[in-house]
Amino acid sequence: MTHDIHGLHHTGIVVRDLDRLERTYISLGFTLSPRSRHLLNERPGEPPVPGCTANRCALFGGAYIELLGIVDESAPDPWHTKAMVDRHEGFRLLNLDTDDAEAADRRLTGAGLRTSGVLDLERDVDTEDGTRTMRARAVHLDPRSTPEGYVGIAQHLTREYVHQPRYLRHPNGARALEAVLIVVGDADFDAVVSRYAGIVQTSPDRRGHLTVVELKEGRLEFVRASDAERALPGEPVPAASYPAAMTIAVDDVAAARTLVENGGTPTRTVDGGFLVSARDAGGAGLTFTAR
């Protein structure tokens, strides 16, 4: 079987106040890429136009965390980000990685999933050789069929402009985005897990109160809403189903924890590492574990 989806591409935390979110992640010990404005199209074949959003990213060489904000309320919003943050801010985006967006789109639509078709994204980025245009392609699943979040498939066309070596070293020792934890309403749980297993062409595996879908690079973890307190005790519940947390692999858990706490953010011990609450990380719980 040909697997056109390989792993995690990036996660996205979406807010209106990008300045504040940037300060939060810098205080947590992440190196962020420079701010970059998006050029987007709404339909396949249309030329990208300057949108209302910009981002900064915590990059790890593979997957990355995107900090996405509304920076111009008067600009076009072809990817409907304003409506997204109007519902609630925080961890809203999950993109899986492919090297062939067209093939992934054909397979997913052939399986009965509604998609946006293949869309184009561009943004100018600073490189050591001057300004270059980062280009990517994306396929968005119809958000009406993914109530847990905004899910897409993304393809780098210019990966070297994104994962620049100078942005891959983090004071907290972060090396990889290893996992995403999604809370799913009990009534929808089996259908949601089955959908993701079909998308990535991998069978799910039950591990205690979690159900895990392994990817070639990274993993997706699912927990029933009724068990969410066991997985993330005391954490906020923004919706019936939602992306709740990410697992970040670091070189030295103790050193990372000291840096985070010295920056003024409380932590809590969890199996294998420590947790920063979603309340203190822009709406995404962050579990730090040893690499």
pLDDT at 1: 42
**201 to 14, 104, 177, 190: CA distances (angstroms):** 28, 11, 21, 16
Q: Are residues 45 and 118 in the same domain?
A: yes
From the list 180, 232, 193, 238, the residue with the least C-alpha distance to 11 is 180
Residues contacting residue 43 through CB under 8 Å, at least 6 positions apart: 116, 117, 119
Phi, psi (deg, nearest 5) at residue 283: 100, 5
Domain end residue (candidates: 108, 134, 167):
167
Residues 87 and 196 in one domain: no
Backbone angles phi, psi at 145, to 5 degrees: -100, 0
Answer yes or no: do 112 and 184 share one domain: no
pLDDT for the residue numbered 41: 67
Sheet containing strand 205-207, strands side by side: 205-207, 210-214, 219-224, 174-184, 242-250, 285-290, 273-276, 268-270
Whether 121 and 202 share a structural domain: no
Q: Is residue 44 domain-shared with residue 136, that is, in the same domain?
A: yes
Tell me how far CA of residue 235 lies from CA of 21, 149, 230, 231, 268, in angstroms. Answer: 19, 18, 10, 9, 11
Residue 87 CB: number of other CB atoms within 10 A? 9
Boundary of a domain, candidates 147, 167, 187: 167
Q: Which amino acid is at 136?
A: A
Euclidean distance between CA atoms 175 and 75, whole angstroms: 35
Neighbours of 18 (CB within 10 A): 20
Judgement on whether residues 92 and 137 belong to the same structural domain of the protein: yes
- Residue 151: partners with Cβ closer than 8 Å, 6 or more residues away: 93, 94, 95, 96, 140, 141, 143
Residue-range definition of the domain harbouring residue 58: 5-167
Residue 211's pLDDT is what?
A: 98
Q: What CATH number has the domain bearing residue 68?
A: 3.10.180.10
> Domain boundary at 167, 200, 217, which?
167
Verify that 18 and 127 share a domain, yes or no: yes
pTM score, two decimals? 0.92
What are the C-alpha distances in Å from 222 to residues 127, 158, 267? 37, 31, 23
221 and 85 assigned to the same domain: no
Same domain for 137 and 9:
yes
Structure tokens at 218: 């990274």
**Does 218 share its domain with 263?**
yes
Same domain, 104 and 45: yes
Q: What domain count does the chain have? A: 2
Give the mean pLDDT per block of 10 residues along the chain (291 residues). Answer: 83 95 98 86 74 91 94 78 86 96 95 94 87 93 92 95 95 98 97 96 95 96 96 94 98 98 97 96 97 82
For residues 163 and 281, state if they share a domain. Answer: no
In whole angstroms, give the CA distance from residue 245 to residue 253. Answer: 17
